[in-house]
Amino acid sequence: MFSVLPVLWLAAALLRAAESQGTTPLQRELSALQEQLKQAQEQNRQMMLRLQALQKRVDELEQSRTGPPPASPPAPAQPPGRELSMDDIFKEVGVKPPAPAAPAPSTVPSIAPEAAQPQTSDQITQSVGQYEGAKLPWFRALSNPSIGVVADVLAGFSDEAEAYDRRDRIDLRELELVAYGSIDPFAQLSGLISGAHDVSVEEGALTLTALPADLQLRGGKFFANVSRLNKTHTHDLPFVEQPLTMQNFLGSVEPMDGHAWWSAEPQFNTMGAELSWMVPTPFYWQWQLSAYNEFSDRSPGSFWEQYVGGPGVERSHRGLRDFTFHLGTKTFLELSPDHSLRLFANALIDAPTSDMRRLTESGGITYLWLPLDRGLYKRFEWTTEAFANQERFLHRIEDQHSWGLYSYIKQQWGRKFEGGLLGEWSAFRFDDAAGAWHAGAWLTYHLSERHLFRFQIDRFGIQDWLDSIALRTGFPAGDGDHWLFSIQWSAVLGSHEHTYE
């Protein structure tokens, strides 16, 4: 007790010294803290009163319903050193702890094992909503498929002589209406109508997705899955147009109009059926067996008729030997979390038992670097694909054995910019002694995920092709060695499935 007095005397002396020096800010701060403490104490007192009143009301209601409560034994003394539990805290403030929430009643009726019965076909169709007036359809968007519109504008400027109307113009290259969705748990439907120039159905396909043994069947009209880029729509490509090599071996060459020039539909678009099988391996591996109506256009008035120098082939009926058959495989190998490889190979045989037999093989590799620690917009891709083509021409010209390849690299630097380089060489499908080459570079600017501008410059060297065409047809040859500068503007409205894998 006496040891505390000197401390108090010293504190009082310091306080008087502070007052004598006029330290009024310290006094004001102390007064403010005292006022806040009084307010907190008052709020705490009011809260305790409300809690007590609420507890009293609850006790009265319980007593009126169940009678007077039995006398509770005195609470045991709190052991020293033990931490307070939540029940101790509620008892300390005089509030009854809340009762645990009762489990929600189950809406699924329990079925005893002996009462379980196999479902009939009617019960199954009712449970998945496949009957008229189903209350709980299995898929909410059955009557609301995904619909989108794609516009692709292309401007091209070239130093090509006698380019006619193919260069130095702005063109609406694509205007597509796309719709796709699930029909039921077993099938999907997709359709694509193109209206840039002439309205036509480019794709209309049904796909069965729930076949046994990991099989899948697609049938209808579509871009055949026979190459790295053949399924990819033009506006989804990383560059402006499909490689020249791919157009040479998979595209349909357009007929000429008095001039020896070469232009082709860039992809193999056909009617047929594709059956794919996912091999049950630890890694991704798929095989595909397909049958298509027609691979090579040999109809009257076609480029084939103009070059070969004889009447085109007109079929009044079809047999198995008139179909095109395809066998393909592809696999995906993960080298590390950031590095992967895709390997693919395809073989197409057209009119296999006739003097128009055509065999086209292709194969390639894609290397992808996608660093997971740098987000979604940093990646590097390198793809190379080679083609070989052996073809008969009804003995009107010699059998041809041509080949070609293309290779490109693509670098994405961020959310907005990506660019790349493309190089290729190919022997002409109709004349394996005539070769052509092409090199290009591009830069893409993404305004958003669905809106982009692309700038590309290309150098073409296809003079040997045009000279071969002029020699066979007598048409004057055009300028096959030229530069081309392109500006592409693409936008997507609504739903859209990217076809570039």
Q: What tens-digit pLDDT sequence spans the chain (501 residues)?
A: 444 444 444 555 554 554 554 446 666 677 777 777 878 878 888 888 888 888 888 788 777 766 555 555 554 544 444 555 556 655 655 555 555 545 544 444 444 444 456 666 566 555 554 444 444 444 445 567 899 999 999 999 988 766 545 567 899 999 999 999 998 889 999 999 998 778 899 999 999 999 999 999 999 999 999 999 999 999 999 999 999 999 999 998 888 887 888 888 889 999 999 999 999 999 999 999 999 998 888 888 899 999 998 888 876 566 777 889 999 999 999 999 999 999 999 999 998 877 889 999 999 999 999 998 887 889 999 999 999 999 999 888 999 999 999 999 999 999 999 999 999 999 999 999 999 999 999 999 999 989 999 999 999 999 999 999 999 998 888 788 999 999 999 999 998 888 887
308 neighbors 300 (Cβ within 8 angstroms): no
Q: What was the pLDDT predicted at 111? A: 46
Find the helix or strand (DSSP H, E) in which 303 lies. Answer: helix 303-308
Give how far Cα 187 sits from Cα of 60, 184, 190, 338, 499, Å: 64, 6, 10, 34, 19
DSSP letter string over 37-92?
Answer: HHHHHHHHHHHHHHHHHHHHHHHHHHHHHH-SPPPPPPPPPPPTTPPP-HHHHHHH
The Cα 78–Cα 101 span in angstroms is: 28
CATH number for position 443 = 2.40.160
Helical residues (DSSP H) of 311-387, grouped into ranges: none
Say if 270 falls within a structural domain. yes
Say if 475 falls within a structural domain. yes
Say if 102 falls within a structural domain. no
The Cα 290–Cα 323 span in angstroms is: 10
423 neighbors 408 (Cβ within 8 angstroms): yes
Say if 43 falls within a structural domain. no
Q: What was the pLDDT predicted at 1? A: 43
Say if 171 falls within a structural domain. no
Say if 482 falls within a structural domain. yes
The Cα 387–Cα 49 span in angstroms is: 88
Say if 4 falls within a structural domain. no
The Cα 483–Cα 163 span in angstroms is: 12
Answering whether pTM is above 0.75, one says no
What tokens appear for 242 in the block?
């499909």
Say if 341 falls within a structural domain. yes
The Cα 253–Cα 173 span in angstroms is: 18
Domain total of the chain: 1
254 neighbors 263 (Cβ within 8 angstroms): yes
Q: What was the pLDDT predicted at 471? A: 92
Q: Domain range for residue 475?
A: 211-489
The Cα 418–Cα 452 span in angstroms is: 11
